[in-house]
Structure 1
Amino acid sequence: MVWLGACSKGLTPLIILDKGTVYHQRYINQVLLVALKYDNNVFANEWTLQQDGAKPHTHVATQEWCQNNFSSFIDKDHWPPNSPDINLLDYSIWDEFGQQINWTKVQSKKTLINELKRAVKRIRESAVLGSCQGWTNRLYRLSNNNGNYLK
């Protein structure tokens, strides 16, 4: 499992969670602490954390931790549980990431991890910025579509 954050200023560090199940405490310790550091270094607390509906994200302890540590985040009750149309990573960045991977080099877990690390550095800045610029438009279109999926 991998975690990556995207915003108009670029990408967070890639986090590879390659051993065991990701429960809420592991998510807090290995992912959210990195996101918080990125938040403080890049935005000085002027951004909003958006998560999807994965169990580690919606767990009560995770929600409480986010409330106590981020200047702003969208809690589980205010974000659609399955919202690929308005998640920067789901509708754009993961595709770009996948295109940057040299799949012929992937022969094992170790080579996959090496290739993931290499590929994330090759994600085009224009792809990230374009995804962010399209986000507001997608929100508007989604609201005009009564929250239903976009076609």
Structure 2
Amino acid sequence: VAPRQQHYEFGGPIGAFGITFGLPILVHVFNLFCNDISGCPAPSLLHPKSLDLAQLKREIGWPDNGVFGLFSWSATLWTLAYYALSLVQYRFLPGHHVEGTELSTGGRLKYKLNAFNSAMCTLAILAAGTIAQGAEFPVWTFISDNFAQIISA
């Protein structure tokens, strides 16, 4: 059994917690308070003494059904479909096979590096759709119409 090491990267458990939970919250804050409805920041935030929650909700585009409006099955399923596409690309697109750093047990994990090929494949699909349909390409309209739900997925 290899000896246990106490060296952490990215701030250790606190950093991992911050990235896991803090980053999605921060992305939602930016999405809500800097938007195409009222600009950045929402005007109500510039006058905290006269802050009115109803006015702030209108300025940030808060969903009518509250926090539940930030989630949708459609966005979640399309996000999972994107991950499935990434899995298919990992499996079938060419890439370099490399070994990682030595583990405490003495072995090495093997990795397939094909992120560039995967990105180019995805971009080619998106470019072809955009050339054929312009801004009305369904991927772009879906992202535009469901951005808050996608970042929640």
Q: TM-score band (shorter)?
A: 0.3 to 0.5
Query: TM-score, structure 1 length as denominator?
Result: 0.32
- TM-score, normalized by length of structure 2? 0.32
